[in-house]
Structure 1
Amino acid sequence: MKNESTSASNADVNFLLGGGEMGARMRERDWSKTSLGPTQQWPQSLKTAVRIMLTCRQAMFVWWGEELINLYNDAYKAIIGGKHPEALGQPASDVWREIWDQVGPRAESAMLKNEGTYDEALLLIMERNGYPEETYYTFSYSPVPNDQGNTGGIICANTDDTQRIIGERQLALLRELAARTADARTFDQACTLSANCLESNPYDLPFAMIYLVDPDRQQVFLAGTCRIGQNHVAVPETVDLDSDSVWPFAEVIRTHQAKLISDLEVSFSSLPCGVWQRSPHQAIAVPIAPSGQTGKAGILIVGLNPFRLFDDNYKRFIDLVAAQIAASIANAQAYEEERKRAQALAEIDRAKTVFFSNVSHEFRTPLTLMLGPLEETLANCATLLPAKEQEQLKMVQRNGLRLLKLVNSLLDFSRIEAGRVQASYEPTDLATFTAELASVFRSAVERAGMELSVNCPSLPAPVYVDREMWEKIVLNLLSNAFKFTMAGKIAVSLQWANDRIEFAVQDTGIGIPAEEIPHLFERFHRVKGAQGRTFEGSGIGLSLVQELVQMHGG
């Protein structure tokens, strides 16, 4: 009889075999002291549900009977936290008192209506480790029939989504912060855009302030706020670094380390809550690192989520936010410095242009007065002067004309920059006009033993150009080609290309090194070591051509 009794007793607990720690605890517990009664009296439906739960590796629980007595497996221990192991065998409404207003109605739906429920990433503020904690769970309540066919209890599988939800929202903020602050052009813009971005995460950042350091005045000044008014008592406009303040500005600047501020409710009666119904009781002051020796340093003050511990993960997130704000400030500083450099260079360029304009005007009048009589002397006294003196006068005339050409080019530049050049566009037979201009060089090219090819077929319609400007474009390009071509051929071509014309001058000259091509149209730039027919030149011919072409929409 004893063996039969022992065998029956073992059979009663066979469904609890295995199951790790929770299986052992359930075997050891005196269930007769609960509303479930001793295990040998448990209905088969409950035994089956418990067996499924214990052998499952996913977090699961079974609530059974009118009191919904709580039974759970090893995987569920991480969810129940500090309530383990006391929660075993207790009514579910006692175990989860703090969230029963949310889960209670779902349990009633399963028990009273025999209808299952499903929730995905539901926010639950649990108190399982001695403090209220933000959690997210996906779970379903499935009614389990008892042996009589009525609903005897609930079986539930749980998935913890907390880290996923928190990680996704933090990553979204960091992405937005990087994207929206990329175009900041000033310190003020960088801080304002950064503060605006922080608005998108009221969960982890209930409120925030950005302060920048003024090293000359030894104080910090407010540069941006998030979800807290600038007139709030917690938001001073400026703070001297040697003054007392709730916010540890001086310590953070001196140590370059973050500082946690606790018990905020002692200093401030009300602070912004973000999405929560409770004000933050902690804040963190984080240094915003400067970029280089002249960079702008700052401090980010952030109110912390009252339903999360400030652990390493939370701290890393705040550090990344501060680093991204620092990067946006550094980018704004770099842009401002580059703008100032560009402005200074433009000012130098304008001064240089004004100088050349003034000098050109000063040169042009005496040159004109000198070249006029010189031309008359050569024309009227050609037979009276010895050949040597005639050649010297012609050399003076050639160099005077060359200097006048340079002066005129400089004047053209100064007029273009000052916006005083008004193009006079008129319909032109551009093929004929271009061929005529190119023919001016034919005798010089052929005397040098080279060939000049002009391919300017008739165009289907007149082209609107400023004839004077077009002449300068053609002659400058041909002059440049002739200067640097010692043998071979110079080819001029003009082609109709739908809504535009293409003009090209090609030669068999010395060519241009690849590294010089980016500087080809820079004013006063000359290719070093380039061998030409002559060495004179200002380096502005091609630059002038570019300006004139652009005025024609090219």
Structure 2
Amino acid sequence: MSADAELQSFLDLLAASGEMGALYLAHPWEDSPLGPPARWSRSLRNAVAMILRMPTPAIVFWGPEQRQLYNAGYALIMGPRHPRFLGSPYRECWPDTAPMLDPWMQDVFLRDRVFSVDHAHIPLTRHGFTEEAYFTFTFSALRDDDGRIGGLWQPVVEVTGGVLSQRRTDTLRELALHLGQLDTASLDLERALAPGARDVPFCVLLEQAPGERGLQLRAQAGLELSAQGLQALDGLPRLRAAALRALETRASVALEVLDAPLAHAPRRPWPEPNAQALALPLQEEDGTRGVVVLGVSPRLRLDQKYREFLEALARELSVQLAAQRQRRAQALLLQQLREAVRSRDEFLSIASHELNTPLTSLRLQTQLAHRALAQEDGSLDGARAVRWVEQAERSTTRLARLVGDMLDISRIATGKLALQLESFDLAELAHECVERLAPQAQAQETRLVLGPCTPVHGAWDRFRIEQVLANLVTNALRYGERSPVTVTVGAARGPGGPSALLSVRDEGPGIAPADQERIFQRFERAVADRNNTGLGLGLYICREIVERHGGSIEVQSAPGAGTTFVVRLPAASPPRGD
């Protein structure tokens, strides 16, 4: 084919190459060192013809200035630089990537090598901002008509989509693996989101505060928010507003303008400030539990795939946080079951000991009486018989009290502790109880005193309130170390109406603050002492009885300062019985 025919064939190719061919034909090549296509070497025309026929991006760099000639596919990579930099030197068009690519290109020019790069991160400015982009390409030498290297060509495949897709898949997997290994309330989002820091430059996880409508900080990544809980959002008004809107609407909310601590996060992966974020509700089967605010990379467009990734990340957080809560609940249940088994074993041990003691005494008394009666020699005098009967009576009384406590525990556990309400004077009941317990106090060489008592009437269960008072007095006699025990009754008026106050005071060693809540639990005693018997159920039963009356019981004590138990009962109207 003649030179004229070759030139015409090339011009026909340009004419048939659509918009890109039209740009080549209309370009003022006369102003370029390359000159018009008619003066191009056969090698250059063949190279341009080759890339114009290619369906994938390709570019030719020709001459010492590496003038750019590219096809329609590469025009997309050029972005806003196209078509202005068609035929321009490479360094003028790509000053940001020249430091990276120029050494490779020079190596091909000087050594006639083929240089391949796979998944290279090459920042581009093609959409008005510096963009994170990845490419796989090859530089190969192009020889001119005289056989010398006149330029090089670069077939290019942009793999940004694949790189981002793989990275986001890895992020979701690592998040699930990390959170799936947590059995506690701790949550290290910094570590969990480390693989995806380029996609999620910061993260703020907010949960609803218990009993409140607001949000509190649970965890963060990429930030250094010093405050915790509800106060963490005080300096982030835009974030707070978007998060609350996402919580109310149960839909994503975009933040187009960020609060300064988010925009200039100290650990952001790019030098540019963060500019956008997305607030996403954390939805679970039982409702919305909180909101996660995810930063958007300043080097990526928030397109549909990016948004879908952030939504998937929020869903994964919801799933893993729900699973974490379930694991904690299961662990707590297991702990409670173990504690229940321990309490059962402890109760059985204590109960067997406590029941065996009066039974042994009762058996001994009956054996002695049986032997004396069997002798039939008149040696059984009345005084000895009375003493045996009294001892047997004390043993049976103690047995009855222990069995009664165990029955009350069963009634409380099954909700069958019924109240038989009647109207009576609490001061009168206190007087009767003190009189009844006076012999026990005298036997323990303790003075039991009825202090000031104001008549107070109310509708209560007389048997149960007497049970409470008797238990408190018995404990004071037992643990007060023979100090005086004083019982008083008074009246008070508060926001809830009139109340009756019943107090039992001893001057004993007192109860340490750390033990003052513990003693109201089952199987607990104020003092761990072998000489002090009992199942450790008395105060627990007292509190249950008082609270079922709509009242309260508290202890006021300190080591060495004695102990006062105060029972407060509603005195105005009858409480609802169970």
Question: How much does 1:118 deviate?
Answer: 2.4
- Who is 2:127 aligned against? 129
Q: Structure 2: which amino acid aligns with 1:287? A: P
Q: Is the contact between residue 15 and residue 21 of structure 2 (CA under 8 Å) also seen in structure 1?
A: yes
**Which of 262, 271, 280 is the aligned partner of 1:277?**
271
> Using the alignment, how far apart are the partners of 1:240 and 1:52 within structure 2?
61
Question: How much does 1:306 deviate?
Answer: 1.0
- Who is 1:32 aligned against? 30
> Mean Cα displacement is larger for which, 155-164 or 26-35?
26-35
Q: Is the contact between residue 286 and residue 301 of structure 1 (CA under 8 Å) also seen in structure 2?
A: yes
Question: How much does 1:217 deviate?
Answer: 3.7
**Which of 327, 333, 342 is the aligned partner of 2:325?**
333
- Who is 2:97 aligned against? 99
- Who is 2:169 aligned against? 171
> Using the alignment, how far apart are the partners of 1:272 and 1:196 within structure 2?
16
> Using the alignment, how far apart are the partners of 2:25 and 2:76 within structure 1?
21
Q: Is the contact between residue 184 and residue 328 of structure 1 (CA under 8 Å) also seen in structure 2?
A: no
> Using the alignment, how far apart are the partners of 1:195 and 1:298 within structure 2?
19
TM-score normalised by the chain length of structure 2: 0.55
Assess, with a 3 A threshold, how the Cα gap between structure 1 residues 335 and 299 changes in structure 2: closer, same or farther. same
- Who is 2:252 aligned against? 258
Mapping for residues 115-154 of structure 1, pairs under 5 Å: 115-154=113-152
Question: How much does 1:274 deviate?
Answer: 3.1
What secondary structure does 1:157 align onto?
Answer: strand
> Using the alignment, how far apart are the partners of 1:267 and 1:182 within structure 2?
30
Q: Structure 2: which amino acid aligns with 1:292? A: D
Per-residue CA deviations over 1:331-351 (Å, capped at 9, x if unaligned) read 122123233433444454455
**Which of 342, 350, 354 is the aligned partner of 2:334?**
342
> Using the alignment, how far apart are the partners of 2:3 and 2:51 within structure 1?
28
Q: Is the contact between residue 273 and residue 279 of structure 1 (CA under 8 Å) also seen in structure 2?
A: no
Per-residue CA deviations over 1:452-504 (Å, capped at 9, x if unaligned) read xxxxxxxxxxxxxxxxxxxxxxxxxxxxxxxxxxxxxxxxxxxxxxxxxxxxx
Assess, with a 3 A threshold, how the Cα gap between structure 1 residues 221 and 48 changes in structure 2: closer, same or farther. same
**Which of 189, 197, 201 is the aligned partner of 2:192?**
197
In structure 2, stretches of 5+ residues that fail to align are: 368-578
Mapping for residues 34-73 of structure 1, pairs under 5 Å: 34-73=32-71
- Who is 2:208 aligned against? 213
- Who is 1:492 aligned against? none
Mapping for residues 382-393 of structure 1, pairs under 5 Å: none
Assess, with a 3 A threshold, how the Cα gap between structure 1 residues 34 and 319 changes in structure 2: closer, same or farther. same
Assess, with a 3 A threshold, how the Cα gap between structure 1 residues 260 and 122 changes in structure 2: closer, same or farther. same
What secondary structure does 1:58 align onto?
Answer: coil
Assess, with a 3 A threshold, how the Cα gap between structure 1 residues 11 and 291 changes in structure 2: closer, same or farther. closer
Mapping for residues 322-471 of structure 1, pairs under 5 Å: 322-353=314-345, 362=355
Mapping for residues 172-187 of structure 1, pairs under 5 Å: 172-186=170-184
Question: How much does 1:135 deviate?
Answer: 0.3
Q: Structure 1: which amino acid aligns with 2:270? A: W
Q: Is the contact between residue 181 and residue 328 of structure 1 (CA under 8 Å) also seen in structure 2?
A: yes
> Using the alignment, how far apart are the partners of 1:269 and 1:20 within structure 2?
44
Question: How much does 1:90 deviate?
Answer: 2.7
Assess, with a 3 A threshold, how the Cα gap between structure 1 residues 206 and 302 changes in structure 2: closer, same or farther. same
TM-score normalised by the chain length of structure 1: 0.57
Question: How much does 1:93 deviate?
Answer: 2.5
Q: Structure 2: which amino acid aligns with 1:318? A: L
Q: Is the contact between residue 220 and residue 240 of structure 1 (CA under 8 Å) also seen in structure 2?
A: no
Residues matched between the structures, number: 361
Assess, with a 3 A threshold, how the Cα gap between structure 1 residues 243 and 208 changes in structure 2: closer, same or farther. closer
> Using the alignment, how far apart are the partners of 2:269 and 2:100 within structure 1?
18
> Using the alignment, how far apart are the partners of 2:235 and 2:138 within structure 1?
56
Question: How much does 1:363 deviate?
Answer: 8.5
Q: Does 1:230 align with 2:228?
A: no
In structure 1, stretches of 5+ residues that fail to align are: 374-554
Question: How much does 1:203 deviate?
Answer: 0.9
Assess, with a 3 A threshold, how the Cα gap between structure 1 residues 8 and 100 changes in structure 2: closer, same or farther. closer
Assess, with a 3 A threshold, how the Cα gap between structure 1 residues 346 and 79 changes in structure 2: closer, same or farther. same
Assess, with a 3 A threshold, how the Cα gap between structure 1 residues 272 and 242 changes in structure 2: closer, same or farther. closer
Q: Is the contact between residue 19 and residue 73 of structure 1 (CA under 8 Å) also seen in structure 2?
A: no
Per-residue CA deviations over 1:77-127 (Å, capped at 9, x if unaligned) read 332233333332333223323322322333333335544432221111111
- Who is 1:475 aligned against? none
Q: Structure 2: which amino acid aligns with 1:251? A: R
Assess, with a 3 A threshold, how the Cα gap between structure 1 residues 217 and 130 changes in structure 2: closer, same or farther. same
- Who is 1:385 aligned against? none
Q: Is the contact between residue 19 and residue 74 of structure 1 (CA under 8 Å) also seen in structure 2?
A: no
> Using the alignment, how far apart are the partners of 2:45 and 2:118 within structure 1?
28
Assess, with a 3 A threshold, how the Cα gap between structure 1 residues 218 and 156 changes in structure 2: closer, same or farther. same
**Which of 291, 296, 300 is the aligned partner of 1:304?**
296
- Who is 2:305 aligned against? 313
Per-residue CA deviations over 1:481-535 (Å, capped at 9, x if unaligned) read xxxxxxxxxxxxxxxxxxxxxxxxxxxxxxxxxxxxxxxxxxxxxxxxxxxxxxx
Q: Is the contact between residue 223 and residue 267 of structure 2 (CA under 8 Å) also seen in structure 1?
A: no
Assess, with a 3 A threshold, how the Cα gap between structure 1 residues 94 and 265 changes in structure 2: closer, same or farther. farther
Q: Is the contact between residue 241 and residue 250 of structure 1 (CA under 8 Å) also seen in structure 2?
A: no
> Using the alignment, how far apart are the partners of 2:204 and 2:259 within structure 1?
18
Q: Is the contact between residue 61 and residue 69 of structure 2 (CA under 8 Å) also seen in structure 1?
A: yes
Assess, with a 3 A threshold, how the Cα gap between structure 1 residues 104 and 206 changes in structure 2: closer, same or farther. same
What secondary structure does 1:224 align onto?
Answer: strand
Assess, with a 3 A threshold, how the Cα gap between structure 1 residues 273 and 118 changes in structure 2: closer, same or farther. farther
Q: Is the contact between residue 263 and residue 273 of structure 2 (CA under 8 Å) also seen in structure 1?
A: no
Q: Is the contact between residue 202 and residue 262 of structure 2 (CA under 8 Å) also seen in structure 1?
A: no
> Using the alignment, how far apart are the partners of 1:40 and 1:267 within structure 2?
60
Assess, with a 3 A threshold, how the Cα gap between structure 1 residues 351 and 265 changes in structure 2: closer, same or farther. closer
Per-residue CA deviations over 1:165-222 (Å, capped at 9, x if unaligned) read 1111111111111112113223x22xx1344211232211222222222042443222
> Using the alignment, how far apart are the partners of 1:79 and 1:35 within structure 2?
24
> Using the alignment, how far apart are the partners of 2:262 and 2:222 within structure 1?
16
Q: Is the contact between residue 83 and residue 128 of structure 1 (CA under 8 Å) also seen in structure 2?
A: yes
Assess, with a 3 A threshold, how the Cα gap between structure 1 residues 205 and 11 changes in structure 2: closer, same or farther. closer
Question: How much does 1:313 deviate?
Answer: 1.4
Assess, with a 3 A threshold, how the Cα gap between structure 1 residues 353 and 272 changes in structure 2: closer, same or farther. same
> Mean Cα displacement is larger for which, 37-46 or 255-264?
255-264
> Using the alignment, how far apart are the partners of 2:346 and 2:14 within structure 1?
98
Mapping for residues 434-513 of structure 1, pairs under 5 Å: none
> Mean Cα displacement is larger for which, 73-82 or 150-159?
73-82
Question: How much does 1:52 deviate?
Answer: 1.7
Q: Is the contact between residue 225 and residue 232 of structure 2 (CA under 8 Å) also seen in structure 1?
A: no
